[in-house]
Every structure is written in structure tokens, then in C-alpha cells.
Chain A
Amino acid sequence: MGYEPVIGIETHVELTTNSKMFCGCPADFGAPPNTNTCPVCLGLPGALPVVNGTAVEYAMIIGLGLNCEVAPRSIFARKNYFYPDMPKNYQISQYDQPLCVNGHLDVETGAGTHRIGITRVHMEEDTGKSTHVGEGGRIQAASHSLIDFNRAGVPLMEIVSEPDIRSAEQARAFVTELRAAVLRLGVSDAKLEEGSMRFDGNISLRLEGSEAFGTKVEVKNMNSIRSLQRALEYEIERQTALLEAGEPVVQETRHWDEEAGTTSGMRSKEEAFDYRYFPEPDLVPVAVDHQWRARVADSLPELPAQARGRYIEMGLDGPVATVISRDIEYGSVFEAAVAAGGDPQTVANWLTGEVTALVRRTDLSLAAGPIDGASLAELSAMVSDGRLSASAAKDVLAGVAAGEGPPAAVAEQRDLIQVSDTAALEPVVDEVLAANTDAIQKLRDGDDKVIGFLIGQVMRATGGKADPGAVTELIRSKAG
């Protein structure tokens, strides 16, 4: 019998509020060290926190976007542990009365749709940042550390999933969908590379068919969605090997090493963490009444899953609909193109194909760039009515991206319009046929492969502008 992974994911998302969670310091990334600080976020003696009301609303937006219930009354708590980049040596967080509970997120994989439960969404504050000095910056070998408190107090949402995830692939799909949802909701920039979105995984194995849970291992330090998947795959392998050898899995926190592609146990603690949570006496409860909840719920933007459903109704196939619905920029360009008369599937194919390739190649930004709905609609129309060949269309797109103008103008300028007018093509075809009498004979004898060669000759003679369909028809009629 095989083992089944049981995975839960904790995701931390920094909010894009102007100011920090409990003080008026800027919450933005990249300021010179220790400049975005005040008595509150530095934990100076005597300072007191005051809740950023917008952060509460953003947390509600995430909660409602993840189908959570919003608690009519929630409170902050102090989570006590000492760490040098945490100014007060307690983190203001939420514990037994969080803002949002009991939600879910539906995610798509090749195997179908999976509903992943969301246990809770709660508010807390971020810590400062430590830089470890000496020995390549690794924590264990450093001689000392330098601390920058700019990030301390930035609003941080913790999104905890139920242990409903059953594979590394599902985990990848979950965080991809979650990231898309957060971006669509417009409350976080969710940049993995800047740490404004981070995740930890909890994973255990159990015998297939069993209801009991195995020993849980926490995996940290995954800096990308891909590394999350790799780390979980590694853990599944490691734990399977242990169990098959009859050895126990140790409950511990393990660190993902991106380069080595392995996880390793972190230094074992002398005692388990005892966070000594208690209600934060410096803050008063958050009460969300029906009106407030309704106002936020009514203003929620469309979520990726809803957009996906709509795109499928518009005629897209599932995988393409998923890709476009997960990216808010793709979604808006796609919808604009369809509104401008573009064929949905053609436009979607262009977006997920050539446009994506172009974006990767050239650092093109869809949001700012010249490739918009109107130009994609025009391009797809030109291809479907035969004015552009598929390969010429790629050149036109590059031209549009380079700012040369709308597709028709670029095609004109780059001289890429297909010739499908029989009168214009006939002399060229006649010329090619006259020069290739052997080939014509072969064609007449039933060797159909040779027509490709003939078409190629015509295309070369026209500089690739001839419409292959029209050329084929002409050759056949003339070879008769």
C-alpha cells in the first residue's frame, strides 16, 4: 500500500497599505535602512500601537475573497518570543479570535478541481530584517548580524489552509491560485522575490485510506512557488523512505536548501516554543457589523475562479482559461480584445503563446505596453481573414510591441500583407511551374508530396507574402 501526503500551507502576505499596521511609518519596500521607523515600530519604551483601519479592511477583503466568515468581534493577542529583529520581543498577532475563519479556495490541476479549506485569515505585524555577516551570510556561521527595522510593523496577513492538499502539484496550484486571488483583490503586490508573499508547508504522510494523521514536519525557506513544490516533493520522498524502512518521522522544522535541493533539520530547540499568547491590552477589539461586512463584500472585485468560469462560457478551453484568469493583466487585455471583436480562442492563444514569449524575451509590461485589446483583436482578424500569415503575424506583433504602431500599419510598413489575389499571384505561379516541369509531371502522376515544394518556390518568389491557401488552389487548377 502507498502513502498519501497530507499538506497544509501557511501563507504570509504583506499588505500594500500606505502606512504600517500600528503606526504611521511608510510600509513600502526598499527605503534606506532604519529610516522608516518611529517609537511604535522600534518598540521604544512607552510607545503604543494603534490599528490601521485600512489594513483591517484589506484583511476582510482577503477573507471574503477566500469565502471566509468574518468574525463580528475579533481581538489582537501578544505572541511572546525573543528575536533580535522583533522590536518588542512579542509580535502583535491574532490567536483564538481571528478576523476571518472557515473559508475555501478551489484550485485546478490536471486531475480536476480541488476544494482547499482555509482555516483562518488573521492580521499581524512583520518583523525587521537581519543580515548575517561573515561566512557567506549563512546564519549558523555568521560572526554577527545587522538589523534594519524598516519592515518591522508592516501589515502582514497570515492565511492558514486546512491540511486538504494531497500532492506537491496541488500545493503548487494552491499557492498559484492564492497569489492570483490576492493580486486580483488588489491588497498586496505578492512579490515572492521581495518577500511580500512567503509560505511555509506542513507535511505528513499516512497510509492510503487511513484517516489518522502521521507525524508532521514543517518546511521553511521556500522562496518561490517552484521551490515549494520541489521541497514538498523532496519531503514526500524522504518521509516515504523513512516509513518504508520502518523508521519514525521526527516532528521538527526543516529548512529547504534551494541549491542542494534538500531539506535539513534546524538546530533542535532545548524546549518547544511556548508563545504565552494573551490578549493585547494596548488594543481594543475589532467589531465588524453587518453594514461594514456588506459594503466590503459588495465591492469585491471578480476573483480568478469566477473569471475562469466566465472565460469558459465565452468558449475558451479550461487550461487557457485558467492561465488567463490567474493574471489580472492578461485578463483585462483578453477582455478588451474580445470586446473589440476578437475571436476569444484566437486572442487567448495569442496571449498565452506569442505574447507570453515576447513578454519573457523583452521585459515587456502588458499593463504599460502598446499591446492592448484593440491591437490583439485587429491582429487576430488579420490572421483569420488571410491578410497575415501566422509567421508574419509574429513579426507584426514584435513591431507593435516595439511601438511601431497598430498591426495594420506595422504589416504595411514591414511589407507583410499576404497576397491572396489570384490575378496578382497567377504570373508568379506560371513562372514557377514553367521552371519546374518535372515537378508538375510528378504531381500529375499522383505524387502529392511535391506540391509542398512548389508552394515553397512561390512563397520564396513572393518574399513570403503569398497566401499559401490561394497558391495551393492555383497550382492545383493549373496542373489539372
Chain B
Amino acid sequence: MSDLADLTLAAAAGGLRSGDLSAVELLEAVHRRAAMTEANLHAYLTLDREGAARAAVGADAGFKRGADLGPLQGIPVALKDNMVTRGLETTCSSKILAGYLPPYDGTATTRLRAGGAVILGKTNLDEFAMGSSTENSAYGTSRNPWDPDRVPGGSSGGSAAAVAAGSAMVAFGSDTGGSIRQPAALCGIVGMKPTYGLVSRYGLIAFASSLDQIGPLARSVEDAVAALEVVGGYDPADSTSYPGAVPDYRSGLESGVSGLRIGVVTELNGAGIEPAVQAAVNRTLDQLENAGATIVQLSLPSVEYALSAYYLIAPAECSANLARFDGVRYGLRRLGENVEEMMSNTRAEGFGPEVTRRILLGTYALSAGYYDAFYGQAQRVRTLIIRDFQAAYEQADVLVSPTSPTTAFPIGARTDDPLSMYMSDVCTIPSNLSGDPAISVPVGLDDAGLPIGFQVMAPALGEPVMFRVAAEVERLAAFGVRAPLASSEVG
């Protein structure tokens, strides 16, 4: 490969340790790529050139001293702009946080810095991570490196576009209903949502606290593993953090799928899935079977209700989480004759339509007289979904489905119809409700040359088997195609 910006993290990490390349060179290559692609893609909201340069110099000095801080040392990484970074503008793509400079680093950011990562900047997202296309950003939509007239998916669309285009080697996003996996699928890269609690949420600006998880977007399964190793693990600052040790994910990556039982979820395959997407998924299933896996068909009846439950639980939690944006301590303020008016004017002006809609929905779903019929019932349905998954994992080691029912859709195609936009997440939402890990791996292109993602789901803390299957899917699919925009000729 001629351009350093196109290296996988694993290859770059090797080069940094052998002395074949430096973190500064790597950063320069990625910056050159960003300079060419950003005008088209708008993956970033903020590029921190000075901070990144300092980190790269520091990483190189570390290598010279023989200090090895782990797999991300010297690697240029991008952070979704809902991850708090001290002194670096953090907006959640919302007007209400324009110019906000957080006085602290989130745990993931702290661990990345401690691990010698070179933080490039902050990537675009749907405002407060609410959306599936990045069109809900107050600062302009990001575009898909495979076709700039199409969305990169969302809400971590900026992170996905950057990794696919080579303007970041790896990126982090957050996944509440599919916000890492769906854009990864639409941009032809790997995206992974860890088990709830595996990565600390401290410093992740909350959308729906019981569903949010930080995870990596990367060019390979191995790269995703490396990124997760750095940010994962117990954090006492997050009460919902998993208190155990992070297991070894790498040893199984070469083990193949022989002897594994792979469950095809009836409710997430077939109906409502674009034929080209389903065909690619079926082809992958055949390959897995040939590679020695047993394919079993499984029904999870309650999963049909997942989308409905999600659109009660997530807005309810968001209505409280976003109450703190009131013009008192930080962010936007609009004048008002008294404090109530000031807050109401600030919030009406500061939040975009999708966020406003979800706050209204959630406020209603929690209000007196409706709580039990809506929020309470959704939480009971959540219990049933968890039970269905537990039963399914008695019969299968992993479950699979398409990541997204469709490939990347044109910009503007779904903005007027919230429900059709919400359908983008129909395959990814169940894992958020159950708290289980899931990963999207690119397995092919449709007729329009747009990438298709294959989703592997595993039980809670089942990352080792999930990565093992995903690595085999990656080998079998031999996807290996780069986004057309990820080349020096385009700009």
C-alpha cells in the first residue's frame, strides 16, 4: 500500500515498533488525507492539529525510549463529538453546546491519552447521537465515502466516514440503538458495540443511559480488538461498569468457526430486508457452514417489539439526560424575562427537531397517567427480549443478521419520515436492549457498489466468541475493497 493513511492499525503498530515509520509521519499522512477528503465528507467537526502533533511527537519519543503503552501508541484516532475532551470543543453536534470547552476528560479519553494515542479531533454525529444518518447535525451532514450523495449512516457517521476514507486510522463512537454498527455497515468498515458496562460511560454525553455504549470503528476485526483493549475495563467512576477483568480477545481470532453453532434470527432476516443485503448475508452463512459451523434457525418472538420498546425507553431517558442543558452553567443562553422563560427559549433554540421530538416523546411517556402503559410496559418487554436472547444462546454460540436492512440511502430520503429513519436500526436495537455485544463486518457490495454489513451478536461478555466468528467472516468475505473517496485522486 502506497499511502500510510490506508494502513490498518495492526500494520501501522508494527511499523512504529520496527522503526519503519514514525507517529509523526503517520499523522502527516492522515492529515494530508483529511485535507483532501474533508471538503467532500465533512467527517470532522474539530481537528486538533496542535494537540495531535504534540501527541505524535510524544509517542515517537516513547518508542525511542522503549516505552510501549499498548496498541494505540502513535496511532491517529478520532473521537465522536459526544465524548468529552478537556479544553477541546465538545458539541454533540448541537447548537446548545456551541463553543463548549469541557473542564475534564472522559475515562475513554483519559485511557487513550495514557495509551499514547494521537487524538485527531472530534467527528460529526446526529445531534446528541439521535439519528441514523448524521443529517441531524447542527453543523451540516457528513457524507458517505462510497457515494457522497448518500448518508454515512449514524449517529457515529463522522467516525465511520473518517475511518473508511483514511482520515482516521481508528475511531470511537457510541451505540445506543446501532449508532456504531449501522454507519460501519454503510461505510464498509468494522464497527463494534461492547457488552453494556465493558467501556466506561464516564465522559460520554448521555443519550439513553441504560443503552449507551462506547465502541470502536476500525478497518479490521483485529483493529477493533486493539482499540477495545485500550478503552475497555472496569472504571469506578461509572456505577454500571463491569467489575471483572477484560478477557483475552486475540487468542481466538485465528480459531475459525468449526464446531460453533450460528443462530439465524428469523425475525431479523428476510422480511423488510433489501434483497441484495439478504443475499450477501446468506452467502456469508453458506461460507460459514462450509467452514465448519452449524447454522441453526432461531425465533425470538419478542424481538418484533424491540423497536417499539426502544422508542419509549430511549426518549424517556433522553428527556431527563438532556434536561441539564438549560443555559445556566454552560452552552447557549437565550434571554428571557425570568429564569423559566430563559430556559425554555434556550432549549427551543438550542435543540434541533429530532432532539426536540424525542424529548417531547420521552416527557410524555414518563408523565403521570401514562408511565405504566408506555415506559413501564416497554421495560417489561425489555425483560422478555432478554429472556428470548438467553434462550437462544442455549442453542447457539452467536446470533447473526444483517446489520442494516438497507445499504446507504440518499441524503434527504428519510428526513421527513421519522419512522422510516427509525427502521434503519431494527436489526441493531435488540442488542442494546439486552446489553449484549454485537459487531458489524463488511461482507460485500450491492449493485450500486455500496457496502453491506453482517452482524454477529453474542451473549453478555461473549466478546471472545463474537470476535472469533467476526474474524472468520472477515476472512471468508475477503471484502478488502476501499471506499472510492479514500484515494488521493479524489478531493
Contact = CB atoms under 8 A, between A and B. Distances in A.
> In the complex, A touching B, CB below 8 Å?
yes
B343 interface: yes
A49 interface: yes
Nearest to A89: B323
Which of B205, B319, B328, B340 has the largest count of A CB atoms less than 10 A from its CB? B328
A29 interface: no
Contact of A42 (B90, B202, B329): B329
Interface string B319-351: 110011110111000000001100100000000
A89 B363 contact: no
A49 B329 CA distance: 18
A50 B319 CA distance: 21
A213 interface: no
A14 to B, nearest CB: 22
B314 to A, nearest CB: 11
A72 interface: no
A56 interface: no
Contact of A84 (B82, B100, B339): B339
Interface string B400-435: 000000000000000000000000000000000000
Contacts of B328: 84, 147
A42 B328 CA distance: 11
B239 A276 contact: no
A51 interface: yes
Given A90-B320, A281-B209, A282-B209, A48 B326 contact: no
Contacts of B84: 44-46
B30 interface: no
Contacts of B316: 278
B324 A43 contact: yes
Contact of B324 (A51, A88, A147, A284): A88
List the 7 closest A-B pairs by CB distance, nearest first.
Answer: A89-B323, A276-B366, A281-B209, A281-B210, A46-B84, A45-B205, A46-B203
A84 B84 CA distance: 23
Nearest to A82: B343
A153 to B, nearest CB: 13
Nearest to B204: A46
Interface in A95-150: 145, 147
Given A50-B236, A276-B363, A278-B316, A44 B104 contact: yes
Interface stretch (B56-64, B263-271, B367-375, B385-393): B367-375
B238 A48 contact: yes
Nearest to B201: A48
Interface string A263-299: 0000000000010111001111000000000000000
A282 B240 contact: yes
B472 interface: no
Contacts of A49: 239
A282 B320 contact: no
Interface string B240-282: 1000000000000000000000000000000000000000000
23 contacts: A44-B84, A45-B92, A45-B102, A46-B84, A46-B205, A48-B237, A50-B236, A80-B320, A80-B323, A80-B366, A82-B326, A84-B326, A84-B343, A88-B323, A89-B323, A89-B326, A90-B320, A276-B366, A278-B371, A278-B375, A281-B208, A281-B210, A283-B239
Interface in B307-321: 316-317, 319-320
Interface in A54-110: 78, 80, 82, 84, 87-90
Contacts of A283: 239-240
B106 interface: yes
A47 interface: yes
Interface string B196-239: 00000111111011100000000000000000000000001111
Interface in A412-430: none
B138 to A, nearest CB: 15
Given A82-B343, A282-B209, A50 B103 contact: no
Contacts of A84: 326, 328, 339, 343
A39 interface: yes
A283 B97 CA distance: 26
A15 B324 CA distance: 25
Interface residues of B, number: 45
A284 B329 CA distance: 28
Contacts of B104: 39, 44, 47
A43 B322 CA distance: 11
A45 B343 CA distance: 17
B463 to A, nearest CB: 21
A46 B106 contact: yes
A475 to B, nearest CB: 81
Nearest to B200: A48
Interface string A174-206: 000000000000000000000000000000000
A44 B239 contact: no
B398 to A, nearest CB: 27
Contacts of A87: 324, 329
A245 B257 CA distance: 86
Interface size band for A: 20 to 34
Nearest to B97: A45
Nearest to B362: A276
B320 A274 contact: no
A86 B205 CA distance: 18
Nearest to A85: B328
A50 B203 contact: no
Interface in B62-121: 82-84, 90, 92, 97, 100, 102-104, 106
A474 B204 CA distance: 93
B368 A44 contact: no
A48 B202 contact: yes
Contact of B240 (A39, A42, A78, A284): A284
Given A84-B339, A278-B375, A282-B206, 14 more contacts: A43-B324, A43-B329, A48-B201, A78-B320, A82-B343, A88-B323, A88-B324, A89-B326, A90-B323, A145-B339, A276-B319, A281-B240, A281-B317, A283-B239
Nearest to A39: B104
Nearest to B343: A82
Given A39-B103, A45-B90, A89 B317 contact: no
Contacts of B209: 281-282
A284 B102 contact: no
Contacts of B103: 39, 44
Interface string A27-54: 0000000000001001111111111000
A284 B242 CA distance: 12
Contacts of B238: 48, 50
A429 to B, nearest CB: 82
A82 B325 CA distance: 11
Contacts of B371: 276, 278
A278 B315 CA distance: 13
A50 B237 CA distance: 6
A87 B323 CA distance: 9
A284 B106 contact: no
B279 to A, nearest CB: 39
Which of B104, B239, B240 has the largest count of A CB atoms less than 10 A from its CB? B239
Nearest to A283: B239
B113 to A, nearest CB: 16
Contacts of A45: 84, 90, 92, 97, 100, 102, 205-206, 324-325, 330
Contacts of B326: 82, 84, 89
B106 to A, nearest CB: 5
Contacts of B83: 46
A276 B367 contact: yes
A335 B100 CA distance: 61
Contact of B102 (A43, A46, A147, A282): A46
B102 A44 contact: yes
Contacts of A44: 84, 102-104, 329-330
Contacts of A284: 239-240
A322 B323 CA distance: 48
A276 B363 CA distance: 8
B363 to A, nearest CB: 7
A184 B110 CA distance: 44
A249 to B, nearest CB: 23
